[in-house]
Amino acid sequence: MKFAAATLTLLLFATSLPIAEAATLLRWKLREGQGFQVQVVQNSKTETTVNDRTVKMSLDMRMDMTWTVDSVDQMGVATISQKFTRMRIDMDTPSVGKVVFDTEGENRAGELTEGLADALGPLMNAKFSVQMTPRGEIVEVDIPQETAAAIKKATATSKLRQLLSVEGMTQLLQQSLAKLPDKAIEPDHQWTVETTTPSPLGLLKQTHKYTYRGAVQRKGASLDKIDVVTDLTLEPSKEAAAKKLSVKSHQQSGSLFFDADAGRFVATDIQQTLVSETPFRDLRILVSVETTSKTELTPTDK
């Protein structure tokens, strides 16, 4: 009886101990022939303040793309063909008013949208090539000459030209997909990724601090959630330095959702606020830009 009682006590003690959650290895598991529908939506609001006068404008962009996995080498590096299938731009500026352009047909604001149609029309179905490791590192972005020529004609906004450049596409992919940690991880694990991106303001140095939150339920599915906070420093270009442009404040954070079983990201949601200041004679020009970026990745194959 004493032996049985001691055994029962040990069993009760063992079952009362917390069960450690198994470490999770986050890796892309792409296969040749896979297809995905990718949608990126960016909404930006800009306020430019000079003395007590503030001018507001907005720029919303939606980009639909397809991904086709052309090949996966022995190291798991995937070569992906990416092409645009739809682009929609909504702008609202004091000088022009509301502008709507959609490659699927809706246009508003006459000559400006005609210019957008001429610029962006050739981009539809134009291919990009992306190489990506199982950890989500973008090894290479290749833009064919005919696609690059079409991008140069997209003179509607400098932001659009920047977004469609090699640097812009790399930054968009890195921000939307993230570089995964080098080992299996448990909840609250943190890692840091540094990126450098050219911009009209100068060289942007970003430090992305990721925190793994473990499995969560999202739209009826169990996904791995990753939170991110980004710090930014700016090395101004010669032009920006001459204007004495400076970054007054910067905040960027968001969440990314990964399907460890399927081996791919599902969605990302990033928010950013950037405030810059430029002196002009006796004036101070403050520019505040608030941007939200959402990415959805949906498989198209069965």
Contacts of 35 (CB under 8 A, 6+ apart): 66, 67, 68, 69, 299, 300, 301
Q: Residue 69: what are its φ and ψ, rounded to 5°?
A: -80, 110
Instruction: pLDDT band for 66, please (50, 70, 90 cuts).
Output: very high
Average pLDDT, the chain: 82
User: pTM of the full predicted structure?
Assistant: 0.81
| pLDDT greater at residue 260 or residue 114 | 260
Q: What is the pLDDT of residues 138-194, one digit of tens each?
A: 888 887 777 666 666 554 555 555 556 556 666 666 666 789 999 999 999 999 998
Instruction: pLDDT band for 203, please (50, 70, 90 cuts).
Output: confident
Distance, CA of 86 to CA of 292 (rounded, Å):
19
Residue type, 6: A
The answer to which of 79-93, 238-252, 281-295 has the lowest mean pLDDT is 238-252
| pLDDT greater at residue 61 or residue 146 | 61
Residue 62 near residue 41, CB atoms below 8 Å: yes
- Among 24, 299, 302, 18, CA closest to 180: 24
- Among 244, 213, 242, 215, CA closest to 229: 213
How high is the pLDDT of residue 93?
Answer: 85
Q: What is the pLDDT of residues 94-145, one digit of tens each?
A: 887 888 888 887 666 566 666 666 666 667 767 788 899 999 988 888 877 7
How high is the pLDDT of residue 8?
Answer: 45
Distance, CA of 18 to CA of 168 (rounded, Å):
46
Distance, CA of 120 to CA of 61 (rounded, Å):
13
Residue 205 pLDDT exceeds 80: yes
- Among 109, 35, 97, 106, CA closest to 69: 35
Distance, CA of 268 to CA of 40 (rounded, Å):
9
Residue 297 near residue 264, CB atoms below 8 Å: yes
CATH domain 22-299 topology: Lipovitellin-phosvitin complex; beta-sheet shell regions (2.30.230)
How high is the pLDDT of residue 257?
Answer: 97
Q: What is the pLDDT of residues 6-49, one digit of tens each?
A: 554 544 554 555 555 579 999 999 999 999 999 999 999 999 99
- Indicate the helix (H) or strand (E) that contains 272: strand 264-280
Report CA 58 to chain centroid distance, whole Å: 19
Task: Count Cα atoms within 13 angstroms, Cβ side, for 215.
Answer: 11
Residue 235 near residue 245, CB atoms below 8 Å: no
190-217 mean pLDDT = 87
Domain regions of the chain by residue span: 22-299
Contacts of 213 (CB under 8 A, 6+ apart): 187, 188, 224, 225, 226, 227
Residue 3 pLDDT exceeds 50: no
